[in-house]
Amino acid sequence: MASHQKNVGILAMEIYFPPTCIRQEVLEAHDGASKGKYTIGLGQDCMAFCTEVEDVISMSLTAVTSLLEKYGVDPKQIGRLEVGSETVIDKSKSIKTFLMQIFEETGNTDIEGVDSTNACYDGTAALFNCVNWVESSSWDGCYGLVVCTDSAVYAEGPARPTGGAAAIAMLIGPDAPIAFESKFRGSHMSHAYDFYKPNLASEYPVVDGKLSQTCYLMALDSCYTRFCQKYEKLEGKQFSIDDADYFVFHSPYNKLVQKSFARLWFDDFLRNASSVDEAAKQKLAPFSTLTGDESYQSRDLEKAAQQVSKPSYDAKVVPATLIPKQVGNMYTASIYAAFASLIHNKHSSLAGQRVLMFSYGSGLAATMFSFRLRGGQLPFTLSNIANVMNVGEKLKTRHEFPPEKFVKTMKLMEHRYGGKDFVTSKDCSLLAPGTYYLTEVDSMYRRFYAKKAGANTTSTACENGLHANGH
Amino acid sequence: MASHQKNVGILAMEIYFPPTCIRQEVLEAHDGASKGKYTIGLGQDCMAFCTEVEDVISMSLTAVTSLLEKYGVDPKQIGRLEVGSETVIDKSKSIKTFLMQIFEETGNTDIEGVDSTNACYDGTAALFNCVNWVESSSWDGCYGLVVCTDSAVYAEGPARPTGGAAAIAMLIGPDAPIAFESKFRGSHMSHAYDFYKPNLASEYPVVDGKLSQTCYLMALDSCYTRFCQKYEKLEGKQFSIDDADYFVFHSPYNKLVQKSFARLWFDDFLRNASSVDEAAKQKLAPFSTLTGDESYQSRDLEKAAQQVSKPSYDAKVVPATLIPKQVGNMYTASIYAAFASLIHNKHSSLAGQRVLMFSYGSGLAATMFSFRLRGGQLPFTLSNIANVMNVGEKLKTRHEFPPEKFVKTMKLMEHRYGGKDFVTSKDCSLLAPGTYYLTEVDSMYRRFYAKKAGANTTSTACENGLHANGH
């Protein structure tokens, strides 16, 4: 028999992104791209990246320890830990097992869950798994913990400015301020080669940018149709954009988010939903006879839909775009970084609001789902989550690299990927106190990390380094 | 609010392993190993392997379509599909998305779930996720489907005879003949480098055989302790080996299964459990003062424990060793192939019995859990599962390769791993009707499969090949 937990969802969040970044305007000029290609064309402001002392393991160690410390959660209270990542450092050993070092120290090794894999969707898969566990008969009353961690890097060329890096940790349990409305969920999964990583020795993906954008929009349509059908079946009335207060999208680059929200307006128009007024109907009418394929290719439709949806976009989407625009594509962390932006910007007015989420991973896997936000109880309130994440300060204290230094860093990372038998510079001068960093990969590929001292915490147990072990 | 489904578990199973194999006795002689090194030392009889027309994707396509056909399950009835695998063909695109081709044909793309990753444990992670989903508030009344698929290959040397290959598909839902006892679950997860795959360009793992065996036995002890604690807390009495009818272990090689069951006897002895009689107590007494570390290294203890547990091993473990001994290590599929052996051997007498399962994945992740078996309703009965899997016939109709041909095959597979721009021989003469096979990997690494015609099925839709697509 299943348990009867209510309002299961996200109790607490922490976000970490590298303090090293490059401004898109600067990169644009360096690459000889036309003015505005990255800033307006892609809609991006800045891009974070790992230097040789950071990787997806160090970032997730930082995010998890920081979450536990700042919300006062004892590591012994964790009963499940899942990681979503598409950044492969080892093809067999999960990132979750690296994170177990934090919990082993306290004697807690009874923690279910491993890593999930399918491009940028993995974090959502991990989140669903963790929520289902809390609602299942095997739940033991402990918290779940979901970690999204990725470093998105691309070969030199047009895709390079769509990189980024971050880790997000989310605490899962009942009576959450960020509660799932689990009955309105629409997924679309299919076989596609829009973005994939078949070249195993390289960190860089194979990308068909145009195909990936079409796949994304097709999946969006399909998920929205199913979401609406389920809503209508259960609520007995038509769903429209007006029924959600905010929309959060997986954000490879901001321009695609703009197009996606406009696409939902076109979908509502085709569905004759109440959200679309007469003026908008007139502007979209010329496109009502396009076939599906034609509609994905039509620049005129894209323009018209973006135009009619603009005021709605500003109100319902813009608050959830800050971090993705400033940090870049964080793969699995991208949609939850967008959601973190919304909490950062609007935490004091979110109680009672519905947020629609669209998660997409190439290959492909996509789901539309919704949260109902609630006040919560300290320390698990929306305002405290905003306070802990401290996004404004983290963005403000970053270090902008000049393009030459950025390119040099990328070259070193390319060389180091999949490598062994090296020590890093161990230079953690740019990192905030409490940040983990990579010190060495030995001749057996075993990875060693240390933690920068001086965080506002009493924990010093890890400061002498986390050691590779097997005992 | 969660749903209230009862007896959630495995409704149906299908197993596929390549028809190509080599006898361990023959390999032993060819390798110049001492007589009995593989057959008695490892306890293995035979090893299956993929030739150049098979891989983890083709095997899972075969297992899933066969399960749907043989149990008469409409692909539209599937609402979740998860894959456990540690055989990486693409670092981003999941195996699950390849399997979506089967469901897209019917218009069903609303299927949650992706791939799980942590060595041989992934299938258990996928199974738990799927069961939790059925018990959660987001369950939509459809079936879940869990697939374990792996090809275990090793570089030439002492680990090579511990390979194997198989795919297993399991249908998940309520009122199952193989029901979870979800409250008695003990996990042990920690950070170890016993077996891992950091060399991304190679299919072969880095293995520390001795360390991996110790990690396995330590995890076994820890999981058993927790399992017993939870049992005793809920049932109000001590658990002993006598309280389970059968024991199923993840089986890298049979010898480790023998050692593991003997270890549980030693654990019961130390716990003063009722299962250990006076004669056994006397034989184990000399080892009661060993430290944990000493006890893992003591050959004398190993021998004494195997001796006292032998009659119990023959009754409670041997029925679950057939397929792992005949096919080899199937990584994620290994423990479920062991369980399939039990159903094959004992299906008519299993109703009401408790089966203890021990799942282990290096790195490391381990869980001990239990099933309570039930009669079930057709087509989902234990006898029909045995009938569908048809293990005896599948083992009997295999093709034994001489060692030279086996080595040549391994060399070709080594060369092809991670490669592109090649066509296979398309020779499916050794494959059973209805088996999928690889025909081509194009210049963009896209993979093409076809299905061998002539299965006792009316489905012909796939027989002209499954095409790479992105639309």
pLDDT tens, A226-253?
999 999 999 999 999 999 999 999 999 9
- From B7, which residue of chain A is nearest by alpha-carbon distance? A1
Q: Among the options B82, B86, B203, B302, which is catalytic? A: B86
> Domain check: are A191 and A334 in the same one?
yes
Give the pLDDT confidence score for residue B461 in this predicted structure: 36
Give the pLDDT confidence score for residue A462 in this predicted structure: 37
Give the pLDDT confidence score for residue A375 in this predicted structure: 87
Q: Among the options A250, A344, A347, A462, which is catalytic? A: A250
Two tokens, residue A31: 């690459």
Q: Among the options A120, A148, A215, A228, which is catalytic? A: A120
Give the pLDDT confidence score for residue B185 in this predicted structure: 95
pLDDT tens, position by position, B199-227: 999 999 999 999 999 999 999 999 999 99
Asked if A187's CB is within 8 angstroms of B111's CB, the reply is yes
Concatenating the DSSP letter of every residue in B5-39 gives --S-EEEEEEEE--SEEEEHHHHHHHTTPPTTIII
- Give domain status of residue A134, yes or no: yes
Strands A354-361 and A365-373: antiparallel
Which residues of chain B neighbour A117 with C-beta distances below 8 Å? 92, 94, 114-117
Which residue is it, tokens 């996606």?
A260
Residue A163 and residue A152 in contact, taking contact as beta carbons nearer than 8 Å: yes
- Give domain status of residue A317, yes or no: yes
Q: How far does the CA of residue A269 sit from the closest CA of chain B (Å)?
A: 23
> Domain check: are A173 and A217 in the same one?
no
- From B91, which residue of chain A is nearest by alpha-carbon distance? A197
pLDDT means over runs of 10, chain B (471 residues): 78 98 97 97 98 98 98 98 97 98 97 97 98 96 98 94 98 98 95 97 94 97 98 97 98 98 98 94 96 95 97 98 98 98 98 98 98 96 98 98 97 96 97 98 98 64 44 36
- Answer yes or no: B278 catalytic: no
In percent, the amount of chain B with pLDDT more than 70 equals 96
Strands A246-249 and A354-361: parallel
Which residues of chain A neighbour B121 with C-beta distances below 8 Å? 114
Q: How far does the CA of residue A6 sit from the closest CA of chain B (Å)?
A: 6
- From B362, which residue of chain A is nearest by alpha-carbon distance? A93
- Give domain status of residue A156, yes or no: yes
Which residues of chain A neighbour B81 with C-beta distances below 8 Å? 189
- Give domain status of residue B341, yes or no: no
Q: How far does the CA of residue A84 sit from the closest CA of chain B (Å)?
A: 10
Among A317, A344, A375, the domain-final residue is A375
Q: How far does the CA of residue A468 sit from the closest CA of chain B (Å)?
A: 7
Alpha carbons B307 and A91: distance in angstroms, whole number = 39
Give the pLDDT confidence score for residue A470 in this predicted structure: 37
- From A187, which residue of chain B is nearest by alpha-carbon distance? B110
Strands A422-423 and A399-400: unpaired
Asked if A215's CB is within 8 angstroms of B363's CB, the reply is no
Asked if B119's CB is within 8 angstroms of A446's CB, the reply is no
> Domain check: are A19 and A122 in the same one?
yes
Q: How far does the CA of residue B450 sit from the closest CA of chain A (Å)?
A: 15
Which residues of chain A neighbour B86 with C-beta distances below 8 Å? 91-92
Q: Return the bridge partners of B20, or none.
A: B399
Asked if A420's CB is within 8 angstroms of B190's CB, the reply is no
Determine if residue B164 is left, alpha or beta; phi over 0 gives left, psi from -120 to 50 gives alpha, anything else beta. left
Give the pLDDT confidence score for residue A454 in this predicted structure: 78
Two tokens, residue A358: 């669209």
Give the pLDDT confidence score for residue B465 in this predicted structure: 53
Q: Among the options A28, A54, A86, A203, which is catalytic? A: A86
Which residues of chain B neighbour A195 with C-beta distances below 8 Å? 92
> Domain check: are A321 and A429 in the same one?
no
Give the pLDDT confidence score for residue B4 in this predicted structure: 76
Please name the member of B86, B104, B133 whose beta carbon is closest to the beta carbon of A91.
Answer: B86
Which residue is it, tokens 């997860």?
B189
Two tokens, residue B422: 């090649």
Which residues of chain B neighbour A133 with C-beta distances below 8 Å? 128, 132
CA angle B404, B409, B411 (to 5 degrees): 95
User: Which residue, A223, A252, A361, A323, is CA-closest to A13?
Assistant: A323
- Answer yes or no: B471 catalytic: no
> Domain check: are A257 and A289 in the same one?
yes
Cβ-count burial B309-338 (b if 16+ within 10 Å, e if not): beebbeebbbbbbbbbbbbbbbbbbbbbbb
CA angle A226, A227, A233 (to 5 degrees): 85
> Domain check: are A270 and A344 in the same one?
yes
Q: Could you tell me what percentage of chain A is helix, strand and coil, using 3-state DSSP and rounding each to the nearest 5?
A: 40, 20, 40
> Domain check: are A198 and A270 in the same one?
yes
Give the pLDDT confidence score for residue B456 in this predicted structure: 52
Radius of gyration over every alpha carbon of chain B, rounded to an integer in angstroms:
22
> Domain check: are A104 and A56 in the same one?
yes
Asked if B118's CB is within 8 angstroms of A367's CB, the reply is no
Interface contacts A/B by beta carbons within 8 Å: 287
- Give domain status of residue A265, yes or no: yes
Q: Return the bridge partners of B207, or none.
A: B195
Concatenating the DSSP letter of every residue in B140-173 gives -SPEEEEEEEEEE---SSTTGGG-EEEEEEEEEE
Asked if B191's CB is within 8 angstroms of A104's CB, the reply is yes
User: Which residue, A326, A394, A378, A360, is CA-closest to A62?
Assistant: A394
> Domain check: are A359 and A400 in the same one?
no
Which residues of chain A neighbour B141 with C-beta distances below 8 Å? none
Two tokens, residue A251: 């954000």
Q: Return the bridge partners of B373, or none.
A: B178
User: Which residue, B121, B163, B129, is CA-closest to B145?
Assistant: B129
Give the pLDDT confidence score for residue B462 in this predicted structure: 37
Q: Half-sphere exposure (CA, 13 Å, Cβ side) for A185? A: 22
Please name the member of B114, B189, B363 whose beta carbon is closest to the beta carbon of A111.
Answer: B189
In percent, the amount of chain A with pLDDT more than 70 equals 96
Q: How far does the CA of residue A125 sit from the closest CA of chain B (Å)?
A: 6
Count of C-beta atoms within a 10 Å radius of residue B467: 12
Strands A115-117 and B422-423: unpaired
Please name the member of A205, A208, A471 whose beta carbon is closest to the beta carbon of B92.
Answer: A205
Please name the member of B1, B109, B194 whose beta carbon is closest to the beta carbon of A189.
Answer: B109
CB neighbour class for B294 (10 Å; exposed up to 12, middle 13-18, buried from 19): exposed
Q: Among the options B250, B344, B347, B428, which is catalytic? A: B250
Which residues of chain A neighbour B88 with C-beta distances below 8 Å? 88, 91, 200
- Give domain status of residue A169, yes or no: yes
Total domains in chain B come to 1
Q: Which of A100, A114, A293 to mutate to test the interface with B (most CBs of B within 10 A)?
A: A114
> Domain check: are A38 and A98 in the same one?
yes
- Answer yes or no: B440 catalytic: no
Please name the member of A96, A133, A205 whose beta carbon is closest to the beta carbon of B132.
Answer: A133
Which residues of chain B neighbour A4 with C-beta distances below 8 Å? 1-2
For the entire predicted model, the pTM comes to 0.96
Residue A216 belongs to what domain range? 186-375
Give the pLDDT confidence score for residue A456 in this predicted structure: 52
Task: From residue B300, give the alpha-carbon distance in Å to each of A83, B226, B290.
Answer: 41, 27, 12
Please name the member of B125, B186, B192 whose beta carbon is closest to the beta carbon of A470.
Answer: B192
CATH number for the domain spanning A325: value is 3.40.47.10
Predicted ipTM > 0.85 = yes
Q: How far does the CA of residue B392 sit from the closest CA of chain A (Å)?
A: 32
Which residues in chain A show pLDDT less than 70?
1-3, 455-471
- Give domain status of residue B117, yes or no: yes
CA angle A450, A101, A56 (to 5 degrees): 60
Which residues of chain A neighbour B138 with C-beta distances below 8 Å? 128, 131-132, 135, 180, 182-183, 185
> Domain check: are A349 and A430 in the same one?
no
> Domain check: are A17 and A79 in the same one?
yes
Concatenating the DSSP letter of every residue in A386-443 gives HHHH-HHHHHHT-EEPPHHHHHHHHHHHHHHTT--SEE-----TTSPTT-EEEEEE-T
Which residue is it, tokens 């898109």?
A24
Residue A116 and residue A122 in contact, taking contact as beta carbons nearer than 8 Å: yes
Q: What torsion do the CA atoms of A374, A377, A382, A386 make, to the nearest 10 degrees?
A: 180
- Give domain status of residue A229, yes or no: yes
